[in-house]
A and B are shown apart, each in its own frame.
Chain A
Amino acid sequence: MRRLFTFMLTAAWLAAGSVLAAETTTKGPHGEAATPAASVTLTPEQEAKVRDGKFTAALSWHTTSDWSAAVGNGAKDEFGRLGIEVVAETDAGFDAARQKSDIETILAKKPSVIVSLPVDPETAPEAYRPALAAGTKLMFVDNAPKGFVHGTDYIAISSADLVQMGAKAGKALADALGSKGKVGYIFHDADFYVTNQRDQSFKATVAATPGMEIAVEQGLADPARAEDIGNAFVAQNPDLDAIYVTWAEPAELVLAALRNAGNTRTKIVTLDLSEPLALDMVKGGNVAAIVADEAYMIGVTAARAAALGLIGESVPPFLAVDAIAVTKDTVKDGWNQSLHRDPPASLGVQ
């Protein structure tokens, strides 16, 4: 009886543990467990085999930004090191139909592998099917087309640890506020897996911090409207201690709103590095912390996994790089670690 009780207690504890784990670890789009990106490496023999293969690669982005450029640079550098020539690069401008056209166009160059971030997982199968038919391998960043099977249709997904990013943003803000305060929450109001996971993880972290609360929240579909939302937040809640903004571009506009209102009290925390925000942070302005992923490493990992896939090696389905909380004192390290370059000279932290 006592053994049975102990068994049940253990089972309940394990079940509770797995529920907690599900909420606090990043899952891939199909619920895959995350594998640390650093575990993906090639042996010298494998590298030699890749070089002998005379492979080519193409990159198809959902849009272009500082972040996608860093991922692209990581991929290009690693492909270059492995002797894989990058023959084309495209930008779909968040347009699913255009991405389909981009893939079709790329295929005229018959690349061995395409590294791509799908704009819309729902309609993406139709976009990437011609690549599969042509025998081109697929390696994804952040997300995979719905219904595609790891190992059969694509090599793997390389991504940030999205839950870790949101959680680190929440923790960084708690540190800045002394674990006490009212927070405004501007989340991405779109069905986009990346921002959705980051936003929800931030919210959960704040909710789990005694003394902190989400006092007001507003979805954001058009980044250009962030300034209006920021203005409305502080107009309605003059005692707001901080505002979380879903990514850097709208956060710059929220910062502008606070500055115009002469507000030096309300802190900002956001995700993805930005020079204007970092400048404000090093000058002791509103920005308390910027959380970034190791974007360059996402690209390096994608290239490594692609190379392994090209020589027939299997790779775990979902590879996640770490997140970094960048504060006033860690700007230089943050830039180096995330984007693989020094911060802009204007920040004065060289």
Chain B
Amino acid sequence: MALDRPAGLPRIGRIDPTAYVVYVGFLLIFAVFAVVLRDSGFLTASNLLNIVQQTAPVTVMAIGMVYVLTAGEIDLSVGSVVAISALSAAVVMREHHWLLGVAAALAAGGAIGLVNGSLVAYGRLPSFLVTLATMGLLAGVARWMTNLQSVPVTDPTFTGLFGSGRLFGIPSLLIWTALAVGLGHYVYRETRFGAHVLATGDSPRAARAAGIKVDRLRLKVMILGSLCAALAGLLYLGRIQGARYTLGETDLLTVIAAVIVGGTRLNGGAGTVVGALVGSLLMGMLNNGLILMGLAVSEQMIVRGLIILAAVALTLREPRR
């Protein structure tokens, strides 16, 4: 995937037409829904805006996951981090300024990333198993934190900035999505850090030989993934104006599907932030369109599964490495 290779760096990917599949697939599904649901409100500006807003937390998590997967790792604990960060912020905001709540959420995310990352980078443990364990552990902590109680958040500045408000007429979730994708894309494509992530995922040994501090990079990537999840937690908190231990619980597979369908390799060395955005929007659009088609819940699940399978089959048909 030379698309994402920073200029002047060693060739670590290859031009691959399947990289465009997600874009074609997205347009194709969009076109089908636009025709089939022309009388069902699919194409209205408010509905399309809904899709972008509804997918904002997943998009933010997906961007973190692009880095994690590209570096050859995986983070299964992101869903639990969402709940912990949202609950932390909500609890702090009961008594304190909302900025402290935001700081608490990001600190919780950063700390979890630090623990996960340290175990992976310096404890030499596989990230799959480390984060599988912390996923369960953190889900327990989330349940324990407020004794299963939901915590409402009423600070209008916070809820306006993180989810429910608008700035110059633009919904805040749209702005967060644009900022996260813009920054994520820039760092991935244009900075030394992005290049090192790619190089590490492509071949850790070669990366190490080239002088990249692979362990430290793994730690950073795991922290980044957790921080993105913490931000997603804040977006959920602002959007539904309350935190609950189940927040984010079902997001992990959606995030991974969005990232993989978007063109990021599950085993590292190649990825795309813009593809992850499109993958995330594709997931949101599928949910939206299948509901508007008036399908029964079981039918929605079957059709969604088939479409994701088709998308994954097409995107993952890459030459063997």
A interface list, Cβ under 8 A from B: 61, 64, 86-91, 93-98, 100-102, 104-106, 108-110, 119-120, 122-123, 125-127, 146, 189-191, 221
The answer, among A89, A94, A105, A126, for a CB contact under 8 Å with B246, is: A94
Closest chain-B Cβ to A126's Cβ sits at a distance in Å of 4
Indicate if B57 sits at the interface (CB-CB under 8 A).
yes
Given A64-B298, A108-B47, 7 further pairs, Cβ under 8 A: A104-B54, A108-B41, A122-B152, A123-B244, A125-B241, A126-B241, A191-B149
Chain A residues whose C-beta falls within 8 Å of the C-beta of B306 in the assembled complex: none
Contact status A105-B291, CB under 8 Å: yes
Is A89 a contact of B297 with CB atoms below 8 Å? Answer: yes
Interface string of B229-257 (1 = CB under 8 A from A): 00000001001111110110110000000
Taking the closest CB of chain B, its distance from the CB of A220, in whole angstroms, is: 12
**Is there an interface contact between A90 and B291, defined as CB atoms closer than 8 Å?**
yes
Provide 9 A-B residue pairs closer than 8 Å at the C-beta atoms, listed in order of the A residue.
A89-B297, A94-B246, A95-B246, A101-B50, A101-B287, A104-B54, A122-B151, A122-B152, A125-B241
Q: In whole angstroms, what is the CA distance A146 to B44 when docked? A: 30
Contact B249 A123 (CB under 8 A): no
Contact A109 B292 (CB under 8 A): yes
The distance in angstroms between the C-alpha atoms of A89 and B292, with both chains bound, is 9
B113 to chain A, nearest CB (A): 22
Task: Report the bound CA distance from A190 to B144 in whole Å.
Answer: 11
CB-CB under 8 A from A104, the residues of chain B are 50, 53-54
CB of A126 within 8 A of CB of B148, answer no
How far, in angstroms, from A191 to B143 measured CA to CA in the complex? 10
Residues of B within 8 Å of A110, CB to CB, are 41
* Contact for A108 among B50, B143, B240, B244, CB less than 8 A: B50
**What count of chain B residues pass the 8 Å CB interface test?**
40
Report the bound CA distance from A102 to B292 in whole Å.
10
Bound-complex Cα distance A64 to B143 (A): 23
B54 surroundings in chain A (CB, below 8 A)? 100-101, 104-105
Residues 196-245 of B at the A interface (beta carbon under 8 Å): 236, 239-244
Instruction: Note all chain B residues with C-beta closer than 8 A to A100.
Output: 54, 239-240
Contact of B41 among A109, A123, A189 (CB under 8 A): A109
For residue A146, which residues in chain B have a CB less than 8 angstroms away from its CB? 152
A64, B302: Cα distance in complex, Å: 14
Cβ–Cβ contact B148 & A106, under 8 A = no
Closest approach, in angstroms, between the C-beta of A299 and any C-beta of chain B?
Answer: 14
In contact, B242 and A88 (Cβ under 8 angstroms): no
Nearest B residue to A219 by beta-carbon distance? Answer: B148
- Report Cα–Cα, A95/B254, bound state, in Å: 13
CB contacts (< 8 Å) of A98 on chain B: these are 250
Contact of B50 among A61, A105, A123, A190 (CB under 8 A): A105
Partner of A89, one of B41, B244, B296: B296
